Structures are given as C-alpha cells and as structure tokens.
Amino acid sequence: MNMKICFATICIILMMISNKISGQGKTIFLMGDSTMANYADNYDVGIDYRQTRYPITGWGQAFEQWMHPDSLAQISKMVQKNNAKLVNKARGGRSTRTFFQEGRWRSIYTNLKPNDLVIIQFGHNDAAIKKSERYVNIEGFKEFLRFYVTTVHEKKGIPILLTPVARNYPWVNGELQDVHGAYDMAVKEIVKETQCAFIDLNLLSRQFFTAQGEEYSTNHCFMNLPPNTFTAYPDGLQDNTHFQPVGAKAIASLVFKELIRIQKEL
C-alpha cells in the first residue's frame, strides 16, 4: 500500500515537473553588433552607463519594452506564453566571424530550446574591409549566416535573418540611401536558400528615417550630439551609425511589428 502511494506521488511530481517545463515561455535570442547591443546591461563591467555612454542605445536594448504580457500576446503563437525572456548577446564591433570566435554563439546554441527565436543581424562590421580583426568577405559572411540558420533549424529553433539596419548617410533629394550593398543582398540570398524567416530592416529603417526627414533623424535618432549636453560626451559627437533612445525605440518597434507579420506566416 505504501509502495502504491509512493509510486502515485512520484507520478504526480513528474507530471507537475512536465507541466511546468511545457508551460515555460520561450526565449528570444538577439545576436548582432553595436546597433543591437544593450549598453545598460553591464556592457562594461563596473562602468556607469549614464555617466560613460548614455544616450547611446541599441535597438535590442529598447526591445525590452515589448517583453511584457500585453505586447507578447500579439505574438503568442511564436512565444507560446506571455512570459518570454529576452537574451541579448549582441556586442559592439562584432561580425559573423568574431561573434562565433568569442563563444557568443556557443552560449546561444547551448541554451537554445525548440521554438526559441534567434534574431540575427550582422553586416556593419563584416563589411569593414579596413579593420581586418572583424572583416568578413561576402562568401564568408554568407557561410556564417548559413551556419547559424542551419544550426538553429537543427535544434528546432526559429531563426530570423535581418538585413543590417541603415546608417544615416547618404541622403539624396530627401531620401536616405542604402550603404550596405552586397551585404544586404547576401542576407537575402541566404534567406531564399534556407527559407528562414526574414526582416528587411535595411529597407524598413531607411523608409522610417526618410519619413522623419534628414534633420530630425540626424539630431534625434542618431548619435549626433551638441557639446556640453551629455556627461559622457562633453565635446559633443558626430555619429551616424549608432542610436539615441528615440532611434533605438523606433527600430525596435519596426522589428516587433515584423514579428507579428512573421507569426502569421509560420
């Protein structure tokens, strides 16, 4: 009798554990470069973000605002629960190659569960031909993207490839132009080859900034700062790659809206 009670108790416990595991929310992994990074999340150990880096903000940092139940309900089929966890592994200066070499990919691969999302955005640093420590030619770029997508698929995850987000130049007749060229096209080729989910962030971000206008985008979205305004930049700054909070939040919003679209197609 005691053995039966003990066995029944074990079964109940196992069922509870199983239900708990199956009910866990999914993880959304972000892998990419400085435009996606979270500078406020211990980016520089022991360094005060507000004093040394603010207002620089990666769009992945701003993506945290979508990690609450009301927003997650809009992509409930993808995350399966309203408690999805965001893990941002993006880091400044990283290309597809250096992201792998530093073990950042392994940390994602090791923790990747079936149906987790892996949002992948590279290209800014891969294209930096004058910086050999990060440069990756087109064929290498495609090979790394192919590897990431294929491996995520093998682990039953959902890879989502993004074209690199726009830089704030050049502007021609009031329209922001493309500077990513072959690296933009390479992403699209891998998407076509692997049939993975896709967000054309290069196009969407250029359209957004064009709609805002050059002056507004330059002064409010990108890191073009006047002197004597921010503690971290007493001399001001001219940076048309990285975002202020307004720009980061706008890009994060574009990505989230695209996730809603992708959910309908999966």
Query: pLDDT by residue (tens digit) across 178-196?
Result: 999 999 999 999 999 999 9
CA 41 from centre of chain:
15
**Beta strands 197-199 and 158-162: pairing type?**
parallel
- Which sequence spans correspond to the domains of the chain? 25-265
Classify residue 12 as exposed, middle or buried by CB count within 10 Å of its CB (0-12, 13-18, 19+). Answer: exposed
Please give the Cα distance from 224 to 154 (Å, whole number).
Answer: 42
pLDDT for 11 beyond 80: no
Instruction: Classify residue 187 as left (phi > 0), alpha (psi -120 to 50) or beta.
Output: alpha
Please give the Cα distance from 31 to 39 (Å, whole number).
Answer: 14
Please give the Cα distance from 157 to 121 (Å, whole number).
Answer: 16
| Torsion from C-alpha of 174, 176, 177, 182, nearest 10 degrees | -170
How many Cα atoms occupy the beta-carbon half-sphere of 55 within 13 Å?
21
| Torsion from C-alpha of 150, 156, 162, 164, nearest 10 degrees | -60
Classify residue 94 as exposed, middle or buried by CB count within 10 Å of its CB (0-12, 13-18, 19+). Answer: buried
Q: Mean pLDDT throughout 143-162?
A: 98
Average pLDDT, the chain: 91
What band does 18 get if pLDDT is binned at 50, 70 and 90? very low
Question: Which one has a higher pLDDT value, 177 or 47?
Answer: 177
What are φ and ψ of residue 84, in 5° steps? -60, 145
Hey, which CATH number is domain 25-265, 1.10.630.10, 3.40.50.1110, 3.40.190.170, 3.40.50.2300? 3.40.50.1110
pLDDT for 23 beyond 70: no
**40-74 pLDDT tens trace:** 987 887 789 999 999 999 999 999 999 999 999 99
Which of 163, 29, 34, 144 is CA-nearest to residue 94? 34
Please give the Cα distance from 78 to 41 (Å, whole number).
Answer: 25
In sequence order, what E strands does the chain have?
27-32, 85-88, 117-121, 158-162, 171-172, 175-176, 197-199
41: enclosing H helix or E strand: none
Q: What is the DSSP string of 150-177?
A: HHHHHTT-EEEEEPPPPPS--EETTEEP
